[in-house]
Structure 1
Amino acid sequence: MPPRLRLRALQPSCWPHTWTVSPPPTIGLRVRARSYEHSSLHAPGTLHAQSGAPTSLAPTASPYSRHEFMACWHKASREVSPADLRYEGRDEIDTKYVIITQDLKVEKPTHKLRKNDIISRYGLLPRDLKALDSHILDVRPSLLVGRRSIVLCTPIARAVITHDRMVVVTADRTNPTCSNEGMAEIISTIVEVMRYLEMEATANLDGNDPRSPRDSPFELRALEAILLMTERGFKSISSELQARVYSTIPQLRFSVDALQLHDLLEAKRMCEDTLFAGRALQSALSTVLSEDEDLAAMYITEKIEGHTRATEDHQSAELLLEYYERRLDETNEAASRLSKMLVDIDSGIALSLASSRLRMGELDVQTAIFMSALTAGAVVAGLFGMNLENGWEQDPVMFRTVTASICATMSVIFALGWTRFNRARKSQLMLRHRTNGLYSGNQVGRTSMIGRDTSQVMGKS
């Protein structure tokens, strides 16, 4: 250790017992605790800020922390009482429903559907009631074949079909999509279709005819009536969407209006919903068609009467499901083409708007170049406009010289800016052209190599 450092270490101020702790320097920063910022409108802080009323969930309008969120959750959980356990409400389905009997009479019960009664009477499993208990807007189309009943769920109606009756659930009691008049019209249409199918089956007394009474029992007629209404509704919506989109496309070629874009967005969403529901129902029918046991189990009347049907003997049910599966496939293909068209239109509108933004950007750059040149001339003119004595006031040629110099400077600045702007734009175009040429060259090279290899193989053979 050098002598100077050794003496420095022996000084009393460096001993440990003489050290003093100095307060940390403050730089004026306010310490803020980390918080969990929730972007939802239903956050306690957001609700408190909107209502302005004090609440226990959000004492302040600032973003609440996760600890506060969990504390509020625990507090709300501790307030649960045995009075909240209402099994009667959970054991019932609060929906609007009617019962169509075998002789096509319509019954309108006033009591709610009890799940235990449905399970015991129609031979269903508890998981099969999920479709009946769901909201009509959240129902996924499905077709379930049980021991003594068939459960069909479509966006139009939900039904439990047996050998002598059909329970039709049209809408929830709080669902605004179907009124009492609409429900009555749906039931009337179902009854008319079933009556026509019964008359047609009665006219064909030959047992070998698929439309004979033996192969067209009550359950298949009820199933066909609901499938017919659902398929007709899908087709009508698809045709309406096509007319709506085809009437909007010619207007978008000339100008892009906010109202037209809003209509196009609504049509796109409606097309996606229609395509989703149609494909789900088609998938449900295809699933049943792929199982011979389910097709044979659809003849519930014969099972109740004690007749046994072979697993392969399901021609009428198979033809029925195949027909509507094919019709749904055609409607889904039309909706799929319409959806692709809407996506292409959306891409074209995006490219048009991007081109407009590019032109506006170029105009902005050109204006900036012109203003830069004008500002350079204005600076020189401002200096001479200060009326300071500089000895050039009496010179008859100096005014023309300064004016010419200012114009020349402005021209040079404008020329330099314009040249750089054109060079940058051309460099982007050349880079894009070279990229496309390289890609096309690679494709051509690959094609030539493939052709060369093919010719060599053919020559060897």
Structure 2
Amino acid sequence: MADLKERFHSRQAVSRPSGSGRTLLQGLDLLGLKKRKQGLRSWIHVDTSGNSQIIEVDKFTIMHRCDLPARDLRLLDPLFVYPSTILGREKAIVVNLEQIRCIITANEVLLLNSVDSSVLRYATELQRRLTAPAVGEVWESDGNDLNGSRGSRNFDNVFGNTSPDDLPFEFRALELALEAACTFLDAQAAELETEAYPLLDELTSNISTLKLESLRRLKSRLDALTRRVQKVRDEIEQLMDDDGDMAEMYLTEKKRQMESSFYGDQSLVGHSSSGGALSVSAPVSPVSSPPNVRKLERSLSITRSRHESIRSSDSTTGNIEELEMLLEAYFVVIDNTLNKLTSLKEYIDDTEDFINIQLDNVRNQLIKFDLLVTTATFVVAIFAVVTGVFGMNLPNPLYDDPNAFPWVLVITGIVGVVIFGSFLLFFKYKRLLPL
């Protein structure tokens, strides 16, 4: 990682010649060259041997080199935010998984250079895996050191399957990209769990505005992370459901078939030109051959080409198990991460429901208290009515009786208690208050 950073900064520090001594036309050419060089981007190039270098190429060179349309390169643009995507093309695999944005071919990996540590870790780990000895070789060398008779045992015979180092180059690079994306998303999910569960446990016992605000921000992060994890899971599941897309991603196999077909055509052309027997797929001269012979040769050539294409397609479709197993492994990992986030979201929803129940309970208690206070106020208002009646400046014989005032208070109090008890019985009958 440090080596890649040092080489990147050294390339950035290279001085470019100035155009101060040029003519006006040359100055215009320099401006055009400057505009063209603005399209250059820095890529980390890793080949099949594990050698890496930083190159600067433009968009059209990448399109021509990897046989990709411009819309696929748009997915790798760091200025735009696109969802996670894995595209299998004729000569390349376009990978956009979180921070890892790269183009994988049968011979190389072009990784978009970035200051992000995840990109440098990906390049460093890919170099390490490509330069490390195969697992079977390590097992065999250890067996030779321990016992000569056990040296013929290899990793495949023990476990019954091929080691990860036996995968084609493009699948090893794709596996590392999936591993980096799944690890990154799982780490973020674990970080959310670490922050969320203590906060939710505190909210069940003590509700405050600050904690509710923290829960709101946490839920927003959870929703965004869930969408990203769901997109990666859907992308892997979509690839697993389509055998044609998986067969399209066997770049090494397609390259080998193209090379064998090319060398076969060259040998057939050479054999025909040397004066040997006429080949089935060799071109026939329209002058020296009769029409019936030309028709027969053309039909045999078409039949043979169709048979070979169908056979190669069937063999490629039949050999997609290794890619399917690779995708299945990381589908389980990303599905586990999604289950973690789903469980966390359910726990948050349950906590919110519990908080709402508590708030409803408090609200109901306040309503009951308000109802009792209102009833008591109504009873006390009866005393105010009696006071207002006796406070009028009108002739009344009760004013001359010294025992009238206590009797008025007693009678008014009894009437108030009766009215208040009647309200309580009514509330109990209507089940408005648990009495």
TM-score category (smaller protein): 0.5 to 0.7
Unpaired runs of at least 5, structure 2: 1-35, 138-153, 261-311
Residue of structure 2 equivalent to 1:215: 167
Distance 1:239 1:95 in 2: 38
Given that 1:104 and 1:191 are in contact with CA atoms closer than 8 Å, whether structure 2 keeps it comes out as no
Distance 2:238 2:222 in 1: 24
Q: AA paired with 1:399? A: F
Distance 1:226 1:127 in 2: 21
Q: Larger helix proportion, structure 1 or 2?
A: 2
Deviates more, 1:117-126 or 1:261-270: 117-126
Unpaired runs of at least 5, structure 1: 1-90, 172-179, 430-461
Residue of structure 1 equivalent to 2:290: none
Residue of structure 1 equivalent to 2:95: 152
1:353 CA drift (Å): 1.0
Q: Which one of 42, 52, 65 corresponds to residue 105 of structure 1?
A: 52
SS in 1 for 2:95: strand
Matches within 5 A, 1:178-217: 180=115, 183=116, 185-200=117-132, 202=134, 204=136, 210-211=162-163, 215-217=167-169
Residue of structure 1 equivalent to 2:66: 122
Residue 254 (structure 1) aligned with residue 205 (structure 2)? yes
Residue of structure 1 equivalent to 2:273: none
Q: AA paired with 2:238? A: T
Given that 2:233 and 2:334 are in contact with CA atoms closer than 8 Å, whether structure 1 keeps it comes out as yes
Residue of structure 2 equivalent to 1:267: 218
1:368 CA drift (Å): 0.7
1:232 CA drift (Å): 0.9
Q: Which one of 123, 128, 132 corresponds to residue 76 of structure 2?
A: 132
Given that 1:98 and 1:108 are in contact with CA atoms closer than 8 Å, whether structure 2 keeps it comes out as yes
Given that 2:100 and 2:119 are in contact with CA atoms closer than 8 Å, whether structure 1 keeps it comes out as no
Q: TM-score, normalised by structure 2?
A: 0.65
Closer, same or farther: CA 92–186 of 1 in aligned 2, 3 Å? farther
Deviates more, 1:349-358 or 1:271-280: 271-280
1:242 CA drift (Å): 2.0
Distance 2:392 2:37 in 1: 91
Distance 1:168 1:131 in 2: 13
Residue of structure 1 equivalent to 2:398: 392
Q: Which one of 109, 130, 144 corresponds to residue 166 of structure 1?
A: 109
Distance 1:104 1:285 in 2: 29
Closer, same or farther: CA 416–341 of 1 in aligned 2, 3 Å? same
1:324 CA drift (Å): 0.9
1:363 CA drift (Å): 0.9
1:362 CA drift (Å): 0.9
Given that 2:204 and 2:351 are in contact with CA atoms closer than 8 Å, whether structure 1 keeps it comes out as no
1:228 CA drift (Å): 1.4
Closer, same or farther: CA 106–147 of 1 in aligned 2, 3 Å? same
1:229 CA drift (Å): 1.5
Show CA shifts across 1:185-243 (max 9, x none): 222201222123213464546897644766231x2232222211111112112222222
Q: AA paired with 1:246? A: Y
Given that 1:159 and 1:167 are in contact with CA atoms closer than 8 Å, whether structure 2 keeps it comes out as yes
Closer, same or farther: CA 188–131 of 1 in aligned 2, 3 Å? closer
Residue of structure 2 equivalent to 1:243: 194
Show CA shifts across 1:280-315 (max 9, x none): 211211221233333233232343352577332234
Closer, same or farther: CA 372–313 of 1 in aligned 2, 3 Å? same
Residue 141 (structure 1) aligned with residue 73 (structure 2)? no
Closer, same or farther: CA 97–393 of 1 in aligned 2, 3 Å? farther
Given that 1:288 and 1:294 are in contact with CA atoms closer than 8 Å, whether structure 2 keeps it comes out as yes
Distance 1:310 1:270 in 2: 42
Percent identity reads 22
1:401 CA drift (Å): 1.8
SS in 2 for 1:393: helix
Distance 2:394 2:90 in 1: 107
Distance 2:367 2:224 in 1: 38
Residue of structure 1 equivalent to 2:293: none
SS in 2 for 1:143: strand
SS in 2 for 1:98: strand
Show CA shifts across 1:51-95 (max 9, x none): xxxxxxxxxxxxxxxxxxxxxxxxxxxxxxxxxxxxxxxx99999
Given that 1:210 and 1:315 are in contact with CA atoms closer than 8 Å, whether structure 2 keeps it comes out as no
Residue 227 (structure 1) aligned with residue 178 (structure 2)? yes
Given that 1:372 and 1:413 are in contact with CA atoms closer than 8 Å, whether structure 2 keeps it comes out as no
Q: TM-score, normalised by structure 1?
A: 0.61
Given that 1:97 and 1:167 are in contact with CA atoms closer than 8 Å, whether structure 2 keeps it comes out as no
Distance 2:332 2:133 in 1: 23
Given that 2:44 and 2:53 are in contact with CA atoms closer than 8 Å, whether structure 1 keeps it comes out as yes
Q: Which one of 303, 316, 322 corresponds to residue 254 of structure 2?
A: 303
1:336 CA drift (Å): 1.4
Show CA shifts across 1:403-440 (max 9, x none): 122212322332222222222226x99xxxxxxxxxxx
Q: AA paired with 1:101? A: V
Closer, same or farther: CA 170–247 of 1 in aligned 2, 3 Å? farther
Closer, same or farther: CA 192–298 of 1 in aligned 2, 3 Å? same
Matches within 5 A, 1:370-381: 370-381=376-387
Residue of structure 2 equivalent to 1:26: none
SS in 2 for 1:124: coil
Show CA shifts across 1:243-272 (max 9, x none): 222212332232212222222223333222
Closer, same or farther: CA 224–95 of 1 in aligned 2, 3 Å? farther
Show CA shifts across 1:31-55 (max 9, x none): xxxxxxxxxxxxxxxxxxxxxxxxx
Q: Which one of 358, 362, 368 corresponds to residue 362 of structure 1?
A: 368
Q: AA paired with 1:223? A: L
RMSD of aligned C-alpha atoms?
3.3
